[in-house]
């Protein structure tokens, strides 16, 4: 990017910082930067407590565990343990698609809660939890297990959910997973992912270790890790892996089941999409079972082809040929999509603010359509995310970590991108400004965006947002 | 490969293509470890039996698919109804992310609120520092005229004291001494979102009214309560007051807050009750409450200040609106103008035109306690039978009053009020004692799918249909909207069940 843009971005950062009280400005300064090419990271601090009172976009550990990692495991009942709210607001809102008979053998779009009352806070909720599990067993006999997703009060009142879970697991002879993901733990969703990963390790993988299993392995067994099947993402990814000759034995956790999780140590390779939320369990499986893991990116044809080849390189020639076959097979579709949409999107600029892997992973998909990323940032990224981001962004890109709504609004006002990609809380703010917007958490109720099939949808959606006639109507004609 | 650019297949169609169907079947058979289909369908059938219903109603601890949320959500709702007010929720930050998302999904509007972002250290040492720094940050960045503080369960469990924290923050200079910071403790483990609305509304009035002498100025106050139709309703209520020439103050007017224009500029604050009129509302002659359940504490507080208080249960329909207007008339001394009487006549006219299609139809209703009362009354007025009336956040007192209301009407015979029950209970009710239609919020679509009872979407939240909150459900005009919603579904169902050529060509009528 030109020196002008870099200077403008630097000035912009100074401008937003000047609105804060001195102490807070100092803290926020560490999270905002203009990327300089050649640097090993983006030059921002991350994974630090949000400032109080600034309207952070971040959520909590419970959101990271129940909402992200555990919630999509469809054949288990996930109890939102504590007051009613957390489970209510996160009820079915994340679009982790699954196939099953809801309420009978699948529970992904239901809200189970122990609905804490004052007496549970005062006297403790362990007895209630015990009874909740009995009632789940009585009414939902085809559940394959239960997880306890702790809400804030659990850790504060000294409940022993581990003891209750252990006792009930023995009693009903099913997997029961206590998760200490109280919302006050850590600084964002991120610690919730980690805690949830640890719970998988302790209460799923450790339990199957050593048990004889009828599982028949093949040399091509892989697991998809860190794909939540938003709008069917994991499905439009799985199909490519299978077409190239691999056998997907598990999906974590979109459309996933307990049995798939248990089978994962049999995989020859773990393929991880959302590094942020599931790297922990991959590292564990590498250490304990010797399973290598590989990060891939299925957004946009360039990255998909790169990823397919890199995955294939870890297997024999059959798979390598398979990868080339898949790439060639989809090339006409890619050409068609690019031919149709690139001329309409070429040169358009995008500002992103999302979580997980998307602040970097989707960059390639935009570039495949000729679009440019003017700014990006992570809700709950760590240093390793910002290092990985350097492979994606260009010199001069505005970088903002744990951005506040105030900052994001000011940045967008000044940068004037052609498209903003962020979440539901941001969507309407920017649309009021007359800016095209796509929710990049829920795919704005569309999707899938992963894989070649997903790329066609992604391209259509970005074009639809930018080309909508509505953006030309924001000013009354008599005001022009 | 089925994907193409001429008609891009997204999730609706893509996964029904043969290559995906085969892939997903294979996943299921080889890796998922589920039970055989016949066993699954057997259990599915069993969940619709009376035996299952009994087990389901024997639940003492587990709550499944409740129709209620927690207190701070309601506190934010109440706070946002005041001019340039920033809701500030003291406790964990994730809660505020949830509240903002939840409202935005319903209203399709931005919702501004902040958190004091308490974490482990605050759990141990208390959240005073978070409050002190948080108020300073909010004040500098968002330049509100008022900050309304509520709490999450975390702050409540550790016992943080808002009153003293706010005082200390002011002493430490994080906000000016005279800056308005009303507050309410809103523990999530007590009551529901409507309780939080009540606590915050009372908190705001207390902040402005305490220690002041009341001098009756003859005006009227209006409190709507937690209401998913607030945008349409408040505008309708203001129109009614204007039409009657009544000098009224809406306490908590969210209508412009959640309905800002797309004009090229984002206005974080828009509309809301001015702080001056909130303060002056002490001097009103009386206050009208539209939803008695969920404004009890505010009502008693207002009464204790010497005002007359009239409290309704979400009036919908002819008799409900009649009473509402007569109460305004009585309080204000203004007559009900001919214009409104004409509107009344038009509503009666519409009911007369359509009643034959509604009479005798059986309904299930769920939602907030006052709202379902108002809707049940309207249904009985239409000659319909509200067979199951359920409020997860309905108390024993509500259940008794609701039951009395049903028992008093010939159309309520055999109908039952269910307080404290959830939508999994409702599922059993619909399966074992079927009705023609269910009225409820978006989550009712799971009932519609599982049991087959058509859903009429009235309630909060409505996240899968757009813009309904822009139309009132109060007043004669609002009642007409409710009538049309119900009728549309009835006619749609008639057409849906008579549209097979060669089989049901009859009854598929062009005139109804």
DSSP secondary structure letters along A192-223 = HHHHHHHHHIIIIIHHHTT--------TTEEE
- DSSP label at B49? S
| Cα→Cα distances B118→A12, A403, B155, B158, B171, Å | 29, 18, 8, 11, 21
| Cα→Cα distances B231→B101, B108, B110, B194, B469, Å | 18, 12, 14, 17, 6
DSSP secondary structure letters along B253-314 = --TTTT----SSS--S----B-HHHHHHGGG-SEEEESBSTT-HHHHHHHHHTT-EEEE-B-
pLDDT band at A209 (very low <50, low <70, confident <90, very high): low
**Residue A340, token pair as written in the block:** 């149709």
Residues 6+ apart with CB under 8 A from A120: A114, A128, B189
Of B362, B358, B361, B391, the closest CA to residue B374 belongs to B391
With CB atoms and an 8 Å threshold, state whether B60 touches A433: no
Contact by Cβ (8 Å): B75, B186 = yes
Contact by Cβ (8 Å): B139, A458 = no
Distance CA A23, CA A16 (A): 14
Q: Which residues of B touch A255 (CB under 8 A)?
A: 27
Q: Which residues of A touch B99 (CB under 8 A)?
A: 89
Shortest CA gap A40–chain B (Å): 31
Q: Is B153 a catalytic residue?
A: yes
Shortest CA gap A384–chain B (Å): 23
Contact by Cβ (8 Å): A326, A240 = yes
Shortest CA gap A369–chain B (Å): 14
High-pLDDT (> 70) share of chain A, %: 99
Q: Which residues of B touch A24 (CB under 8 A)?
A: 133, 136-137, 140
**Neighbour count for residue B445 (Cβ, 10 Å):** 17
Using the Cβ of A430 and the Cβ atoms of chain B, whether some distance falls under 8 Å is answered with yes
**Residue A221, token pair as written in the block:** 């067994």
Q: Which residues of A touch B135 (CB under 8 A)?
A: 53
Using the Cβ of A84 and the Cβ atoms of chain B, whether some distance falls under 8 Å is answered with yes
With CB atoms and an 8 Å threshold, state whether B47 touches A104: yes
Partner residue opposite A333 with nearest CB, options B1, B11, B153: B1
With CB atoms and an 8 Å threshold, state whether B97 touches A434: no
Q: Is A201 a catalytic residue?
A: no
Sheet holding A437-439, edge to edge: A32-34, A398-400, A372-376, A349-352, A419-422, A437-439
Distance CA B135, CA A24 (A): 12
**Residue B364, token pair as written in the block:** 């299930």
**What is the pLDDT, as a whole number, of residue A214?**
81
**What is the pLDDT, as a whole number, of residue A6?**
96
Query: Which of these is catalytic: A42, A60, A169, A274?
Result: A60
Q: Which residues of B touch A131 (CB under 8 A)?
A: 60-62
Residues 6+ apart with CB under 8 A from B26: none
Distance CA B268, CA B106 (A): 18
Using the Cβ of A148 and the Cβ atoms of chain B, whether some distance falls under 8 Å is answered with no
Query: Which chain B residue has the Cα nearest residue A24?
Result: B137
With CB atoms and an 8 Å threshold, state whether A457 touches B123: no
Average pLDDT, chain A: 97
Query: Which of these is catalytic: B132, B153, B181, B316?
Result: B153
Cα dihedral A434→A438→A442→A447 (10° resolution): 140
With CB atoms and an 8 Å threshold, state whether A448 touches B11: yes
With CB atoms and an 8 Å threshold, state whether A52 touches B41: no
- Size of chain A, expressed as the number of residues it contains: 480
With CB atoms and an 8 Å threshold, state whether A103 touches B112: no
Phi, psi of A92 (to 5 degrees): 60, 20
- DSSP label at B67? S
Distance CA A178, CA A162 (A): 6
Residue A372, burial from CB neighbour count under 10 angstroms (0-12, 13-18, 19+): middle
Shortest CA gap A88–chain B (Å): 6
Distance CA B168, CA B443 (A): 43
The strand pair at B63-64 and A437-439 is best described as unpaired
**Residue B272, token pair as written in the block:** 């809301």
Distance CA B367, CA B390 (A): 7
The ipTM of this complex is: 0.98
Q: Rg of chain A over CA atoms, in angstroms?
A: 23
Distance CA B141, CA B117 (A): 16
Residue among A53, A151, A186 with most chain B CBs within 10 A, to mutate? A53
Sheet holding A247-253, edge to edge: A247-253, A221-227, A269-272, A293-295
Q: Is B310 a catalytic residue?
A: no
Residue A2 clears pLDDT 90, i.e. is over it = no
Q: Which residues of A touch B17 (CB under 8 A)?
A: none
A/B interface, count of CB pairs below 8 Å: 351
Q: Which residues of B touch A111 (CB under 8 A)?
A: 64-66
Query: Which of these is catalytic: A31, A78, A81, A94?
Result: A94
Using the Cβ of A259 and the Cβ atoms of chain B, whether some distance falls under 8 Å is answered with yes
Distance CA B322, CA A321 (A): 78
Shortest CA gap A408–chain B (Å): 12
Residue of higher predicted confidence among A2 and B473:
B473
With CB atoms and an 8 Å threshold, state whether B141 touches A157: no
The strand pair at A398-400 and A32-34 is best described as antiparallel
Using the Cβ of A142 and the Cβ atoms of chain B, whether some distance falls under 8 Å is answered with yes
Q: Which residues of A touch B66 (CB under 8 A)?
A: 84, 88, 111, 113, 115
Task: For residues A333-347, give the mean pLDDT.
Answer: 98
With CB atoms and an 8 Å threshold, state whether A152 touches B115: no
Query: Which of these is catalytic: A95, A193, A194, A238?
Result: A193
Of B433, B437, B435, B431, the closest CA to residue B451 belongs to B431
- DSSP label at A65? I
Q: Which residues of A touch B52 (CB under 8 A)?
A: 139
Sheet holding B286-289, edge to edge: B248-250, B220-223, B286-289, B308-311
**What is the pLDDT, as a whole number, of residue A3?**
85
Residues 6+ apart with CB under 8 A from A462: A341, A345, A366, A369, A371, A419, A438
| SS3 state at A398 | strand
Angle at CA B167, nearest 5°, toward B165 and B171? 115
Q: Which residues of A touch B38 (CB under 8 A)?
A: none
Query: Which chain B residue has the Cα nearest residue A55?
Result: B114
Q: Which residues of B touch A54 (CB under 8 A)?
A: 114, 137-138, 141
With CB atoms and an 8 Å threshold, state whether B64 touches A111: yes
Distance of CA A455 to the CA centre of its chain: 18
Residue among B12, B21, B30, B32 with most chain A CBs within 10 A, to mutate? B32
Using the Cβ of A427 and the Cβ atoms of chain B, whether some distance falls under 8 Å is answered with yes
Query: Which chain A residue has the Cα nearest residue B156?
Result: A153
Distance CA A412, CA A432 (A): 12
pLDDT tens over chain B, length 512 residues: 899 999 999 999 999 999 999 999 999 999 999 999 999 999 999 999 999 999 999 999 999 999 999 999 999 999 999 999 999 999 999 999 999 999 999 999 999 999 999 999 999 999 999 999 999 999 999 999 999 999 999 999 999 999 999 999 999 999 999 999 999 999 999 999 999 999 999 999 999 999 999 999 999 999 999 999 999 999 999 999 999 999 999 999 999 999 999 999 999 999 999 999 999 999 999 999 999 999 999 999 999 999 999 999 999 999 999 999 999 999 999 999 999 999 999 999 999 999 999 999 999 999 999 999 999 999 999 999 999 999 999 999 999 999 999 999 999 999 999 999 999 999 999 999 999 999 999 999 999 999 999 999 999 999 999 999 999 999 999 999 999 999 999 999 999 999 999 999 999 999 99
Angle at CA B465, nearest 5°, toward B460 and B468? 65
Sheet holding B63-64, edge to edge: A175-179, A145-150, A77-81, A112-113, B63-64
With CB atoms and an 8 Å threshold, state whether B117 touches A50: yes
With CB atoms and an 8 Å threshold, state whether B5 touches A337: yes
Residue A210 clears pLDDT 70, i.e. is over it = no
Of A386, A325, A322, the closest CA to residue A44 belongs to A386
Contact by Cβ (8 Å): A84, B167 = no
Residues 6+ apart with CB under 8 A from B259: B107, B109, B231, B470
Q: Is the dihedral of CA B37, B39, B40, B45 positive or negative?
A: positive
Residue whose structure tokens are 């744990």: A402
């Amino acid at each position: 990017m030109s020196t002008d843009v870099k200077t403008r971005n630097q000035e912009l950062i100074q401008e937003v910082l000047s609105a804060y009280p001195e102490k807070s400005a100092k803290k926020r300064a560490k999270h905002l930067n203009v990327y300089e090419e050649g640097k090993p990271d983006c030059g921002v601090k991350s994974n630090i407590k949000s400032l109080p009172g600034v309207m952070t976009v971040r959520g909590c550990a419970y959101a990271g565990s129940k909402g992200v990692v555990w919630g999509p495991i469809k054949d288990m009942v996930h109890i939102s343990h504590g007051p009613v709210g957390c489970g209510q607001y996160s009820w079915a809102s994340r679009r982790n698609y699954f196939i099953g008979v809801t309420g009978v053998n699948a529970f992904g779009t239901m809200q189970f809660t122990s609905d804490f009352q004052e007496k549970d806070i005062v006297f403790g909720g362990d007895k209630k939890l015990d009874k909740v599990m009995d009632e789940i067993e009585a009414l939902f006999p085809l559940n394959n297990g239960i997880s306890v997703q702790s809400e804030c009060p659990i850790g504060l009142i000294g409940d022993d959910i581990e003891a209750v879970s252990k006792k009930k697991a023995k009693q009903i002879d099913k997997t029961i997973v206590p998760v200490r993901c109280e919302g006050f733990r850590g600084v964002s969703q991120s610690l919730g992912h980690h805690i949830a990963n640890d719970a998988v390790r302790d209460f799923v993988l450790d339990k199957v270790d050593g048990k004889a299993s009828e599982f028949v392995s093949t040399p091509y067994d892989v697991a998809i890790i860190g794909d939540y099947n938003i709008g069917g993402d994991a499905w439009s990814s799985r199909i490519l892996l299978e077409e190239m000759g691999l056998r997907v034995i598990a999906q974590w956790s979109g459309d996933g089941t307990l049995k798939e999780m248990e089978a994962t140590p049999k995989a020859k390779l773990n393929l991880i999409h959302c590094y942020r939320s599931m790297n922990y369990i991959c590292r564990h499986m590498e250490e304990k079972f010797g399973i290598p893991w590989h990060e891939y990116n299925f957004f946009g044809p360039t990255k998909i082809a790169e990823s397919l080849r890199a995955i294939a390189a870890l297997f024999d020639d059959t798979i390598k040929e398979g990868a080339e076959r898949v790439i060639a097979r989809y090339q006409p579709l890619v050409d068609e999509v690019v031919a149709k949409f690139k001329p309409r999107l070429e040169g358009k600029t995008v500002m992103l603010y999302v979580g997980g892997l998307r602040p970097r992973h989707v960059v390639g998909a935009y570039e495949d359509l000729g679009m440019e990323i003017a700014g990006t940032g992570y809700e709950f990224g760590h240093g390793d995310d910002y290092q990985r981001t350097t492979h994606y962004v260009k010199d001069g890109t505005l970088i903002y970590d744990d951005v506040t709504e105030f900052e994001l609004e000011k940045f967008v006002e000044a940068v004037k991108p052609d498209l903003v990609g962020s979440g539901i809380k941001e969507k309407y703010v920017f649309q009021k400004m007359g800016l095209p917007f796509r929710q990049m958490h829920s795919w704005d109720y569309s999707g899938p965006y992963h894989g070649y099939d997903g790329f066609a949808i992604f391209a259509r959606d970005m074009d639809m947002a930018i080309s909508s006639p509505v953006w030309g109507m924001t000013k009354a004609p008599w005001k022009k | 490969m089925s994907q193409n650019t001429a008609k891009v297949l997204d999730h609706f169609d893509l996964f029904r293509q043969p290559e995906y169907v085969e892939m997903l079947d294979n996943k299921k058979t080889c890796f998922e470890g589920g039970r055989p289909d016949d066993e699954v369908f057997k259990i599915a059938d069993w969940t619709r039996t009376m035996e299952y219903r009994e087990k389901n109603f024997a639940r003492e601890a587990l709550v499944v698919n409740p129709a209620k949320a927690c207190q701070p959500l309601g506190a934010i709702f109440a706070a946002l109804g005041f001019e340039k007010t920033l809701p500030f929720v003291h406790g964990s930050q994730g809660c505020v992310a949830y509240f903002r998302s939840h409202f935005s999904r319903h209203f399709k509007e931005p919702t501004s609120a902040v958190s004091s972002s308490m974490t482990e250290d605050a759990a141990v040492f208390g959240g005073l520092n978070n409050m002190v720094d948080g108020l300073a940050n909010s004040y500098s960045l968002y330049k509100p005229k008022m900050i309304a503080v509520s709490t999450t369960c975390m702050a409540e469990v550790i016992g943080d004291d808002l009153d003293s924290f706010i005082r200390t923050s002011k002493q430490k200079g994080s906000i000016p001494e005279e800056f308005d910071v009303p507050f309410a403790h809103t523990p999530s483990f007590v009551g529901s979102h409507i309780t939080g609305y009540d606590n915050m509304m009372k908190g705001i009035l207390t902040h402005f009214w305490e220690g002041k002498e009341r001098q009756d100025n003859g005006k009227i106050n209006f409190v709507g309560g937690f209401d998913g139709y607030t945008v349409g309703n408040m505008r309708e209520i203001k129109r009614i007051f204007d039409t009657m020439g009544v000098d009224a103050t809406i306490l908590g007017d969210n209508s412009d807050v959640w309905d800002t224009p797309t004009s090229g500029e984002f206005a974080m604050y828009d509309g809301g009750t001015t702080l001056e009129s909130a303060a002056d509302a002490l001097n009103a002659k009386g206050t009208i409450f539209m939803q008695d359940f969920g404004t009890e504490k505010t009502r008693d507080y207002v009464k204790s200040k010497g005002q007359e208080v009239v409290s309704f249960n979400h009036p919908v329909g002819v008799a409900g609106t009649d009473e509402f207007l007569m109460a305004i008339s009585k309080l204000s001394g203004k007559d009900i103008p001919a214009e409104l009487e004409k509107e009344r006549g038009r509503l009666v006219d519409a009911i007369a035109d359509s009643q034959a299609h509604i009479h005798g139809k059986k309904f299930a209703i769920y939602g907030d306690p006052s709202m379902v009362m108002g809707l049940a009354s309207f249904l009985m007025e239409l000659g319909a039978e509200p067979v199951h009336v359920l409020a997860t956040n309905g108390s024993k007192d509500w259940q008794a009053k609701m039951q009395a209301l049903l028992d008093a009407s010939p159309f309520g015979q055999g109908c039952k009020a269910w307080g404290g029950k959830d939508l999994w209970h409702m599922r059993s009710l619909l399966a074992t004692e079927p009705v023609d239609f269910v009225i409820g919020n978006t989550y009712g679509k799971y009932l519609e799918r599982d049991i087959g009872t058509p859903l009429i979407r009235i309630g909060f939240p409505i996240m899968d249909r757009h813009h309904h909150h822009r139309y009132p459900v109060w007043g004669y005009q609002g009642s007409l909207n409710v009538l049309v919603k119900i009728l549309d579904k009835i006619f749609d169902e008639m057409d849906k069940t008579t549209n097979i050529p060669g089989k049901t060509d009859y009854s598929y009528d062009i005139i109804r």
